[in-house]
Structure 1
Amino acid sequence: MPATTQHNEQATEVPDLNATESERLGENPARFLVEDVAADNGDGTTGELIFARIRGIVSTELVDYWLGVERWLAMQDDREPRDRVIDALEARKAELDEHGEGLAQAGLSPAERRERAAKRDAESVAVLVDEDGEEVSWSRQRGAVVGANS
């Protein structure tokens, strides 16, 4: 069963610029963009996880939404948009423009992926295990590895 809450001692309230658009595109970029751009030590969703998620974006439409949310968050915080974030998003958009959208290995467009995802149960099958193979809580990430289901 998917988790409805997640323990995160560093949690901040995640704003949603446009809940309708976030639902339509399948994610709220602010979930990542509210975090500081600093190296992640494995305790949360900060730093390099933002850039890993950006590298995984599969549509220019979603890149544009991320750009808008970064600019909106910057305005809310009375700051400039972060150059590293903007540069990473623009680079991802250029890559998608050059190589095409969607998951190339699956041959699916973003719309097809969303349609398939809506038809299946989104329950995660990943389980964290410690060095002895014992299941580890997701909130205790240090020293855990993802184990395969038997």
Structure 2
Amino acid sequence: MNAPSLILFATVALVAAPAAVAGECKKIHAEMVEIAATEGCNPPHTSCFLGEIDGNHGLRGTTHFKADGIGGRPTTSPDFLPYSGPFEYHTATGSLFMRETGITDPKVVTAYQQVVDATGEYSGYTGHLFVNGHKLGSGVISTRITGRLCRPD
């Protein structure tokens, strides 16, 4: 490739490439599988949920969750249990630290997560995710994740 062609190619590639824009929000879609664990939990926890996530926009890696609050079961829906706790996503380029609040029963889980802190590529990000899925037995939970993550302004 000659020099003028190379310059034209580089210019077209730069114009066509999406730029990282401050304040830009990205729609997130991911699949996650978690398992109840008694080893590998963050200290000092002796039990937690460890998982793997596979999503768009680089949201691929591992997860950690440990409830720090559990509510009372509603008398009209005694199988359901409200809960809340810190949820962590760890990727090759950074981590997202969320607050998860949800409800679960013996078969399903649904939750809302909001970004409370982040490191690496995710520093300064804001946003929220929705988690919905099924308990498959033996402590395994399979969920779909949707939501938005936004770059800092």
Give the TM-score taking structure 1 as reference length: 0.26
Q: Which has the higher strand share?
A: 2
Q: Which has the higher helix share?
A: 1
> Greater relative contact order: 1 or 2 (C-alpha under 8 angstroms, separation 6 or more)?
2
**Structure index of larger Rg:** 2
